[in-house]
Chain A
């Protein structure tokens, strides 16, 4: 079954912004602080926009190599929200045993 823990809480994010040859500024959330823990993201899975009514929400599916995280960036409120943490059981054993940062 799906291994998802719903969180739905605002989190603090450190993000890098890149401007490549396209004109758009690309965002890469690098670090998240949540519940007293620090999570360093290693890879972006998928970034896609979605709408909540007229509000534009950018969804970032991220991973730190030990779990998958869904973050939502509210482009109007400029706030980050951690929606869920998933797939912790499918991580490589070595990363699961690693001490928390």
Chain B
């Protein structure tokens, strides 16, 4: 039985573009420049922690022009751009801009999706006949204008319009900053002709090498490659078929992924931390994981722990349990079971806790064990207090003081916990 569809042949999707992709330019840096006008027009880097080894999580266009790239350490960036100004992230600001963007997007279509904190998609299918009759380019310019009005005049965004999500994102990256581009079946070939393989989202060095090995060196050759070459020779999986459809404007990326794990990690503030200090940080990570777990209404049956040592070694342990759990003390107790097994290979520099085998929490189901019920009631009371007075107002003694060191940082990719994380004490 053939594993892949051997003769998948599709023409270019000739449907009028209905997908609009919005990408905020250098989001965190632009928002900071919006908030602090003195920083406008200056090379600015945003980092999670103001230390020389912290990496740049966002750079302004002025910094990018000097060669600063996201992911560089502060010291590397400073070498390239001596005038670089580094500031720490301020999640509530980005949360506000995110919410404003979502409000604007919702006013056009009920079918919207945020791909990350600074990227959103509006699907106009089914709304064009009665509501959004104007051309999408006009709507795109209106969105840019509304963003400036609601957030501030410094805010810019790139907009891409295309028949599918992938091409819309590609269109949004054509003219940065503040661009608006449309890709249709008519200009698809000439647009792809101006790009490199690595300009395509999802094609980095490894995929480029795979494509090169099959004689594909440009996006146009990629577009012209038959589906069976992509699926059998290049990607050796159904990913090849997906790429075949994606490049032709057919939708394959309209999928939602379930939450599989919930957790938190922390790079130690002290690389020579004592055992007690590591346990204290671990307790805080468990507290934070518990908060997220309960916020999403889940309980877990498995827990995993990942530790990196100063020596460069790493250790990973995981354990599944018969009973599910969601209280902080249960998470900490089970994390300690794993932690006590870790081979002491040196000082701990990074520790991460995550819960897996998630299922909906049955909080209304009482246990026959009184101590379990007591613990649940205690957790509920603590959550209520922390909800009223801010996260980590009441904490377990084992994690006391850790919240001053483990500051809540902005999560990349997911925006699931925004409301929870922005509730400061």
User: Which of A9-17, A29-37, A43-51 is near enough to bind chain B?
Assistant: A43-51
Looking at the complex, which one of B87, B96, B97, B393 makes contact with A53 (CB distance below 8 Å)?
B393
Q: Please provide the 10 A-B residue pairs with the shortest distance between their CB atoms, ordered closest to farther.
A: A48-B96, A87-B38, A53-B389, A46-B35, A61-B35, A50-B92, A53-B390, A68-B36, A45-B35, A90-B38
Further pairs besides A45-B34, A45-B152, A68-B39: 20, Cβ < 8 Å: A1-B85, A1-B86, A2-B50, A2-B86, A45-B37, A46-B31, A46-B96, A51-B390, A51-B422, A51-B424, A52-B389, A53-B390, A53-B393, A54-B387, A54-B388, A59-B93, A63-B38, A68-B38, A87-B36, A90-B85
How many angstroms from the CA of A54 to the CA of B390 in the assembled complex? Answer: 7
A54 to B39, CA, bound (A): 32
Residue-wise interface mask of A (66-95) relative to B, using a CB-CB cutoff of 8 A (1 in contact, 0 not): 011000000000000000001110110000
* Shortest CB distance B144–A (Å): 17
Contact with B424, one of A1, A3, A50 (Cβ below 8 angstroms)? A50
Contact A1 B50 (CB under 8 A): yes
Task: Report the Cα distance A49→B97, complex, angstroms.
Answer: 11
With known contacts A2-B85, A51-B423, A54-B389, A45–B50 Cβ distance under 8 A: no
Instruction: Tell me if A's interface is mostly helix, strand, loop or mixed.
Output: strand
Taking the closest CB of chain A, its distance from the CB of B126, in whole angstroms, is: 28
Q: How far is it, in angstroms, between the C-alpha of A84 and the C-alpha of B325 when the chains are bound?
A: 43
Could you tell me the distance between the alpha carbons of A61 and B35 in the complex, rounded to whole angstroms? 5
Q: Judge whether B425 is part of the interface by a CB distance below 8 angstroms.
A: yes
Within the assembled complex, what's the spacing in Å between the Cα atoms of A50 and B422? 7
Kindly state the interface size class of chain B when it binds its partner.
20 to 34
Contact, CB under 8 Å: A48 / B93: yes
A46 contacts across to B, CB distance below 8 A: 31, 34-35, 93, 96, 151-152
Q: For residue B151, which residues in chain A have a CB less than 8 angstroms away from its CB?
A: 46
Q: What residues of A have a CB within 8 angstroms of the CB of B403 in the complex?
A: none
Count chain A residues whose beta carbon lies closer than 8 angstroms to a beta carbon of B: 25
Is B62 located at the chain interface by the 8 A CB criterion? Answer: no
CB-CB contacts of B381-399 with A at 8 A, as 1s and 0s? Answer: 0000011111001000000
How far is B422's CA from A51's CA once the two chains are assembled, in angstroms? Answer: 7
Which of chain A's residues has its CB closest to B154's CB?
A: A45
Interfacial residues of chain B within 23-54, with CB under 8 A of chain A in the complex? 31, 34-39, 42, 50
**How far does the alpha carbon of A90 sit from the alpha carbon of B393 in the complex, in Å?**
37
Please, which residues of chain B bring their CB within 8 A of the CB of A67? 38
Does chain A have a CB within 8 A of B88?
yes
Report B-chain residues with C-beta under 8 Å of the C-beta of A52: 389-390, 424-425
Known: A45-B152, A46-B31, A59-B92. A2 touches B37 (CB 8 A): no
Question: Quick check: B37 and A43 within 8 Å, CB to CB?
Answer: yes
List 19 A-B pairs, Cβ < 8 Å: A4-B87, A45-B34, A45-B35, A45-B152, A46-B96, A48-B93, A48-B96, A49-B96, A50-B92, A51-B423, A53-B423, A54-B388, A68-B36, A68-B37, A68-B38, A86-B38, A90-B39, A90-B85, A91-B38
Given contacts A2-B50, A2-B85, contact A53 B388 (CB under 8 A): yes
Give chain B nearest CB distance to A50 CB in angstroms. 4
* Residues in A whose Cβ lies below 8 Å from that of B35: 45-46, 61, 68
CB contact between B36 and one of A45, A48, A53, A54 (< 8 Å): that residue: A45
Q: Which of chain A's residues have a CB closer than 8 A to the CB of B86?
A: 1-2
**B39 lies within 8 A of A53 (CB):** no
Interchain CA distance A62-B93 in the complex, whole Å: 14
Q: How far apart are A87's CB and chain B's nearest CB, in angstroms?
A: 4
Interface centre among A46, A54, A87 (most CB of B within 10 A): A46
Assembly CA distance A59 to B424 (angstroms): 13
Alpha-carbon separation in the docked complex, A79 to B96 (Å):
22
A90-B34 in contact (CB<8A): no
